[in-house]
């Protein structure tokens, strides 16, 4: 039983998620909100029947307080979940240190939780999409997230089981190929949506989607760097305390229990 508790890592994961959320919030505000405003302006310009009913939440509040709340709460939540994944992964996926393990967890999260589902169901600005299908599109996006995460977990398990027979490198390639194949089948058989109007500027759509990718990339890269630094400091400090307090025999910090 390591002297570093899961609770200590969870707290640092949530703190790292909060700080990463601040970085993502800056990117979302300065890079993404201008594209949202341009999309709303196009929507209002083309909707001649729009009578401007009273808004429950003003656009200013959506772009400031609402955006900040959503991004920061999301950052804290996923930071906590990623910290729990880190607790399991450290020492079990190879001889990686805390920083490398944190980077791998963050990279895997970016790939499986966002990038893979995004390639099938990319984000659309407010003026794009049929309101009648928003529920179906949202459900399918989260289904794609679930499939991506579950298949990634299955690939990791398969890779570990194949490693004794194939070697680590070949087992990793085989497991990754299986993941890609199954994700490709999901892309083929799950329904697609092409609801972008011919009059919507392609450049604006492309810039909006790139900005959403930039927000997620900023969040996960920042989390990986911050959480890796925090956990390395914590684990090295714990190792030093163990070395001086238990008969001078150092203990490893490679597993958390």
Distance of alpha carbon 9 from its chain centroid, rounded? 18
For 200: left if phi > 0, alpha if psi spans -120 to 50, otherwise beta; the answer is beta
Q: Name the 3-class secondary structure at 127.
A: coil
**Rounded Cα distance, 246 and 242, in Å:** 6
Residue 115, number of CB atoms within 10 A of its CB? 16
Q: What is the mean pLDDT of each run of 10 residues along the chain (257 residues)?
A: 71 94 93 80 64 60 80 94 89 80 93 94 77 83 94 90 87 92 94 77 86 94 94 76 54 46
Query: What's the pLDDT score for residue 127?
Result: 67
Query: What's the pLDDT score for residue 239?
Result: 63
Tokens of 14: 């949530």
Tokens of 139: 């459900």
117, 141 contact by CB (below 8 A): yes
Query: Which residues does 29 contact at the CB level (< 8 Å), separation at least 6?
Result: 63, 64, 67
Query: What's the pLDDT score for residue 254?
Result: 46
Note every long-range contact of 108-111, with CB atoms under 8 Å and residues 24 or more positions apart, other chains counting.
108/152, 109/78, 109/82, 109/85, 109/220, 110/216, 110/217, 110/220, 110/221, 111/152
125, 43 contact by CB (below 8 A): no
Q: Residue holding tokens 């499939």?
A: 147
87, 11 contact by CB (below 8 A): no
Considering only CA atoms, which of 117, 115, 118 is closest in space to residue 145?
Answer: 117
**Rounded Cα distance, 206 and 214, in Å:** 12
Tokens of 165: 């027979």
Tokens of 196: 């972008």
């Amino acid at each position: 039983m390591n002297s570093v508790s899961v609770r200590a890592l969870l707290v640092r994961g949530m703190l790292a998620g909060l700080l990463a959320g601040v970085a993502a919030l800056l990117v979302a505000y300065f890079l993404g909100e201008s594209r949202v405003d341009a999309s709303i302006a196009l929507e209002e310009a083309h909707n001649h029947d729009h009578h401007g009913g009273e808004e429950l939440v003003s656009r200013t509040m959506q772009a400031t307080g609402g955006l900040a709340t959503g991004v920061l709460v999301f950052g804290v939540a996923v930071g906590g979940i990623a910290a729990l994944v880190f607790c399991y992964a450290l020492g079990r996926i190879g001889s990686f240190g805390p920083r490398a393990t944190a980077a791998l967890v963050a990279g895997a999260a970016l790939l499986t939780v966002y990038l893979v589902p995004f390639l099938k169901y990319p984000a659309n600005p407010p003026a794009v999409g049929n309101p009648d299908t928003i529920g179906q599109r949202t459900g399918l996006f989260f289904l794609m997230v679930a499939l991506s995460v579950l298949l990634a977990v299955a690939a990791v398990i398969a890779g570990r089981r194949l490693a004794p027979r194939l070697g680590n490198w070949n087992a990793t390639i085989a497991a990754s190929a299986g993941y890609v194949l199954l994700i490709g089948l999901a892309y083929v058989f799950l329904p697609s949506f092409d609801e972008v109007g011919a009059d919507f500027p392609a450049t604006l759509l492309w810039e909006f989607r790139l900005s959403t990718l930039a927000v997620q990339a900023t969040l996960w890269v920042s989390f990986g760097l911050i959480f890796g630094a925090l956990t390395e400091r914590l684990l090295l400090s714990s190792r030093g305390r163990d070395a001086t307090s238990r008969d001078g025999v150092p203990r490893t910090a490679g597993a958390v229990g």
